[in-house]
Structure 1
Amino acid sequence: MACSVSDTPSLKDLPKVATDLKSQLEGFNTSCLRDVDTNEKIVLPSAEDVATEKTQKSLFDGIEKFDSSQLKHTETQEKNPLPDKDAIEAEKEKNKFLNGIENFDPTKLKHTETCEKNPLPTKDVIEQEKSA
């Protein structure tokens, strides 16, 4: 949208500045101002930051614009060596052993009586040994 000459306000339409304010502004003495050091809050990136960002951008551009038609076709060879006969037999033995433990049936056990063949000494025998 372009501004034409007719869109700009005329001098009489502009706001008027009070004469006392105008005279104060014109007669303002800048030597009354204090010296102040300005601290910039916005820190610009260092040269290293800019270089790092350029490197990353070039990497991303390379990935996005990569031409996959330049790749060569390859055949994948799957290598899955099967275990030898000895390893299979050892695993079968282990599985039979574990299966025997897991499926143990205690009801097939015979009942037995425990006979103590090494009886402990009586109090009398202990007293005799102490006194001897």
Structure 2
Amino acid sequence: MAARPWEVQQELVNGIQGFTKAKLRPTVTKEKVYVPTKEDIEAEKGHNQMVSGIQNFDASLLKHTETQEKNVLPTAEMIAEEKKGDQ
């Protein structure tokens, strides 16, 4: 049979109240320090320079261009050749 919620809560409270620090074991924490390699530093510098170049780009240096859209329609001869090829 499943425990009732108030029974579970009472078990938790009893466990917390009955806890003693004497049951804990001493531990030593080791802090691992990650030192980046020379290659990592150079890669980060290169990335930062690229990002800086993009952010500081002067758009006024660009030349203005006009876009010309070309829509080449097939000639009558091209259509006739395609019809012959399909048959």
CA distance 1:130–1:79, shift in 2 (3 Å): same
> How far apart are residue 61 of structure 1 and its match?
1.1
Deviation at 1:69, TM superposition (A): 2.4
Any residues of structure 2 matched to 1:1-132 within 5 Å, and which?
Answer: 48-49=1-2, 52-53=3-4, 56=8, 57-107=10-60, 109=61
**Alpha-carbon distance between aligned partners in 1 of 2:17 and 2:76, rounded to the nearest angstrom:** 97
Partner Cα distance (1:83, 1:64) in 2: 47
Instruction: List runs of 5+ in structure 1 lacking aligned partners.
Output: 1-47, 115-119, 121-128
| Pairwise CA distance, 1:113 | 9.0
- In the alignment, residue 52 of structure 2 is paired with which amino acid? N
Q: In percent, how many aligned pairs have the same letter? A: 34
Q: TM-score, normalised by structure 1?
A: 0.39
Query: What's the counterpart of residue 28 of structure 1?
Result: none
User: Cα–Cα, structure 1 residues 130 and 59, in superposed 2: closer, same or farther, change >3 Å?
Assistant: closer
The normalised TM-score by structure 2 is 0.54
Unaligned runs of 5+ in 2: 78-87
Query: Residue 91 and residue 70 in structure 1: after superposition, are their counterparts in 2 closer, same or farther (change >3 A)?
Result: same
